[in-house]
Structure formats: structure tokens, C-alpha cells
Structure 1
């Protein structure tokens, strides 16, 4: 059961733009506003977007308060709640997951059908970037962007589902393929290993592509029909074309590699195939306008979800036993987690489990 914290401060891993480093600080425990829940964090996991804070980037990543607690992917237990109708739907002790958008209206067309970032109010903030996130012992979250965990999901291991899971699910599902069609999952790590599980649960045939052998081993465990190391195997593109009968029906790119995007058109079935954009490289993508104009392939995007498409992804995960492969660390070990992610030595997802 949840319990109101007896203390007033907590530990938090905070990014400071002044020295571009993390600091383990002691900060005040926040109090929920009327539409918010105070959650005792059970697990918070690391996403590549968190690491982008430390990198030069021209893709629109905005830092707000400084220093700011990083992390936007977590699950936890409700310990107190505000007075709004949305908050009153939860009870102390509920195990919950949530998304990181706050201060948006959740009701305009953009919030309902596109992404909270484009809310008509123009006031949206993202926890972990413009406001404190979840690599801390307690966090406030918007009740409208939260849900009680379905039966079968463990509050200490389900955290990656609430960014990576929702993102990977919709990255695959939004391709609108039929069972038996071919899909290439580009990047088989934190997002991709979940994407492969979703794709197999949807009856698709999967080719996993990565530059790290340990990620390809993970892809095999998750059910990929074929895997290729696109650095070591010089003939991987031709092999993909042969296996898939002329090209995959969709290539879903979960990586932050611009080169991997440049490589995708060569393996997509001409005139029918889709490039699904999920991962965000540091540099803008370059696409051949003639390819798009003449219909060689289509381009579509899939984002990390809203409170409206969160639930189907989470419920699908529970129904089909989709599990993030989670390696756990202590709060003070987050710099080590970042180092492992940057060196491509991590498998699956990495997270902090709190007592």
C-alpha cells in the first residue's frame, strides 16, 4: 500500500546544463496539485531521449528548469492525490504507470489524436526535460495521463512499457500490416526488443537489424525470424531482399542513427513499402524527394503516445505477456547506465528499482 512520505526530502539524479553532468542531489518531495497524483516510484528506466540531454542536438529537445531530474519512463504506487475528478478515480496503494506530458489540456484535437506536445494551449511541459522527471524517490504525475496497471504487470518491472512499450507498440501497429507480412526492425535494443515481441504477437515475420551482436542475440530470444549485423555482413541488404521476396513491407527504425535511415529505402518493397520513423538522430533526415513523389516508398511517423493510445498498448502487453528485458541498477549508478547505452553494450532496457 502507498503511504504518505514521513520525510520532506529525497534523492534525485539531476542533469545540470552548467557542467553537462549528472548530480545526485537532495531535493524536496513535491506535493500534488488538484489534478495530480503523488507516486512513490517503484522503477524508473533509462531511455535514449534522456541521454540526448548530454549531446549536441538540433531536433527540438528543450531543457526547462535547471538542474532537472532526468527520466520520463516509470511505474509506481499512489501515495496521495489531488481533489479533481480525474485524481479521485485513483486510490492510495494503486500501482500505476503514466506518461510524462503535463500542463496540456488533454482535450484538444492535437492532444487527443496527435501528441500532447502540440496542445493548442502551447503550455505543454515534459517531465524529465522541462520539469523534474522520475529518477527520484517520489514524483507527481498528471492523473489524466496515468492508469492502474493491468493484472499480470509487475510495478517493479513494467516501467519501460510506459515509453518504450507504447512507442514500440504503435511503431509496429501503425504500419497497419497483415499477419504474414514482412517487417524489418532496425535497432534491436531497448525499443526494438519490445517491437519484435509486438510484431510476433501480431503474426508478422520479422528481420532484426543491428550493429551490436548482443542486441541481435536479444532479437533472436524475442522471436525474430532472421537477424543481420549491418556492419559485419556486407551482403545484408541483398539477403533481406531475398528472404522477403523483393523487400520488406515496412521498416521500423528505432535507432538514433542517420546512416541506418539512409540504408532503409534499399530494403523496402518498391511501391508498397513503408518507412516508419521512430528513432531521432542528432541530424535531420535526408530523403530523396523523387522517391517519395514517385511512390517508391511511403514515410510515416509514430510517437511515444498520448493518454488515449497508452491504454491499448499496455493492455496488449498484458494480454500477450510482452515483457521488457530489464537490467536493474542503483540510483547512484545511472552514469554507468548511460555509459553502457552510449557504448551499445546494454541489452534490453536498464532501470533503477527503488525500495
Structure 2
């Protein structure tokens, strides 16, 4: 089969022919229906000191996909799936799924220290067939199409929990910073939860999508030099939460002035190349709180996906062929993409 593989020796992507994998007892073999591109995939090609772990080389990139079960392993968990099931799945493997870290924090911190992440340290999903841990998979709810639901299995879960974990009440204000692949979903989740939403981005096309997704106000922080003051005025003191989906350190630096003093939260989701800088005086005197949100485990995957199906949360998906993945990456890097981009397989 064909696969888009990252090779650290030349820091490039190659369309390689590789064997179709075989599932172990706890795994599923899945024919990929759609694999979509996440900004995290670009981190493989960039200098990064934020903890990205590389392993197998070369390896197939991509950690966001849906498909149809071709074969289930003989184990008890895999036996809960049958041939032809439409499934979505997430990307941690080789972890125990039972320790406190796996259950309550994230599989990356599994106490075994053996966790692998598909798409980063072992083969991911920009290939025709994949094996996934059955514990990380679920049958798609009615109404979700495997040819279009792939972005929900990273972007959707991440955006849902980035919004939901802020703990806001209906009618409160949330700022969504970065209205692209993650943010346009975050806006839909926030509106479905009854929140008032302000979308912030530096690309006008992303703000157009934000408006279509229901944002009450949008601001281009690059061209509108007075955007922070306007947000404080609109919200009568600042937003109750600012959820940052971008990989821009400057966008994080710009957040504190728009957060309501004493009760507001800065939710960290996007991961810039540079470490964030926080003012200790602000944190010590409770100007605002800082939180992070898990991008998905088998324990918080289902609520996000079921909420998506119930509230008709749809990713804006532009489709391409497997050989077009380098073009997709260039569009993402240049901020010319709208919503999510994905490869749909026949």
C-alpha cells in the first residue's frame, strides 16, 4: 500500500510503498476512509522544544482518521467490533490504559513509560490501511460519515474538551483564538453549550468561517489594533475564558488583557515552538487562571463524539488525494486553508 512517510534523515515527506500491517489480538485492521491533517503534524518538520517524541524512521504521518473495520484481533476488546463497522480512533499505543495517568491525565504519561503515538513515533494514518488499538476505537454514532468525520477524532475531541473543561455557564463569554481547523469546531461546541463567542484570528477567511459557525463577534488581531479594548467593552470586563488553539506565542502573550480579572481562564491547547511566558505576579494575585486540556483519551473520547453527533457539529473539510499531502501542508503553513483538510480514500 502507499503511505506518506516522514524521514528524519532529510526532514522531508516521501510517498512510499509499504506492507499492509496485520492486527495483533488487541488491535483492529482498518481500511482508512478519511485521514485529515492536523497542525501538530507539521511539528515533525520544525525545530521544537515542546516535548515532541520521534521514534521509528521513516514513519507514516497523521493521527486523525476514520474508516471501516477489515479484521479484528482475537482478543476480548477487539472482539467487540465486527467487519464493516464504521469506526473512529485515537492514536496512543503501547500504554497500559489502566494507571492513574492513563485514566485521568493522558496516555503520554503512562507509568510504564512505553507509550507510542501513531503519526509521530510509529506509523500513523496517511496510508490505505492502519492497525489501531481496539481500546482507542469506537463505532461511529448514527449520523457521522467515516468519509467526513475524521477531524472529530483529534480536532473535535481537543476542541470539545478545550471548551467544555473551562466550566462556563450558558450566557458567559468565551474567546476562541485561532478559528481554523480546531477553532471552527470550538466555536460550534461553545455555541451548542449556550456560550457567547468571540473569534480571533489573523486570516480573514478564517473569520468568515467563524461567523458561519456562529461566532457573535470576530476580530482580526493583525489589522484591528484596538481589538483588545473592543472585546473588554463588548463583554463588560473581559471574557470568562480565552481558549487558544494556535501555535503562536504572540497570541498567548496577547490574551491576558481580554480575560476578566479574578474569574477568567486562559486555556492552553495550541503548542507554539517557543515556551510560553507568564507573569508570575498576575498568577499569584489571581488575575486569571491557566489550564490545559487533554487532546483525547479513550476515557474522554466518547462524550465528545456523541455530543458532536447529537448537536450536528460538522468539520469544514476540504478533500484531497494521498499524493497531495505536501500541498495540504503548504496551505496550512501559509494560513490559506479553511477548516480542515483531509485525504479521502476510495
TM-score range, shorter chain: over 0.9
Q: CA deviation at 1:63?
A: 1.1
Aligned to 1:66: 57
Shift of 1:175: 0.3
The reply on whether 1:321 has 2:312 as its aligned counterpart is yes
* Residues in 2 aligned to 1:260 and 1:171: alpha-carbon distance in whole angstroms: 16
1:65 aligned counterpart, secondary structure? coil
Q: How do 1:256-275 and structure 2 match up within 5 A?
A: 256-275=247-266
Q: Distance in 1 between matches of 2:68 and 2:310?
A: 22
1:226 and 2:217 matched: yes
| Partner-residue secondary structure (3-state), 1:24 | strand
Q: Secondary structure at the match of 1:232?
A: coil
CA separation in 2, counterparts of 1:106 and 1:78? Answer: 22
Work out the CA distance in 2 between the residues paired with 1:253 and 1:33. 38
Partner SS state of residue 254, structure 2: helix
TM-score by length of 2: 1.00
In 2: Cα distance, 1:91 partner to 1:105 partner: 24
1:101 equivalent in alignment to 2:101: no
Aligned counterpart for 1:171 among listed residues 159, 162, 179: 162
**In 1, Cα distance between equivalents of 2:10 and 2:110:** 32
2: CA distance between counterparts of 1:338 and 1:317?
A: 26
Q: Deviations over 1:149-191 (max 9, x none)?
A: 0000001000000000000000000000000000000000000
Q: Trace 1:138-149 onto structure 2 (pairs within 5 A).
A: 138-149=129-140
Aligned residue in 1 for 2:198: 207
Question: 2:91 & 2:62 partners in 1: Cα distance?
Answer: 9
Count of residue pairs the alignment pairs up:
346
Q: Which residue in the other structure is 2:79 paired with?
A: 88
Match of 1:131 among 119, 122, 131: 122
Q: Tell me what 1:241 maps to.
A: 232
Map of 1:23 onto structure 2: 14
1:120 matched to 2:111? The reply is yes
Uncovered stretches (5+) of structure 1, i.e. residues with no partner: 1-9
User: After TM superposition, where is structure 1 displaced by more than 2 Å over at least 4 residues in a row?
Assistant: none
- Residue 34 in structure 1 maps to residue 25 in structure 2: yes
How far apart, in 1, do the equivalents of 2:249 and 2:276 lie? 7
Tell me how far 1:305 sits from its aligned partner. Answer: 1.0
* Alpha-carbon distance between aligned partners in 1 of 2:152 and 2:105, rounded to the nearest angstrom: 19
Cα distance between partner residues in 1 of 2:140 and 2:13: 31
Counterpart CA distance in 1 for 2:54 and 2:323 is 22
Q: What's the RMSD between the two structures over aligned residues?
A: 0.4
For structure 2, the 5+ residue unaligned runs are: none
Whether 1:285 aligns to 2:287 is no
CA offset digits 1:166-225 (Å, max 9, x no partner): 000000000000000000000000000000000000000000000000000000000000
Aligned-residue offset at 1:297: 0.2
2:255 aligns to what SS in structure 1?
A: helix
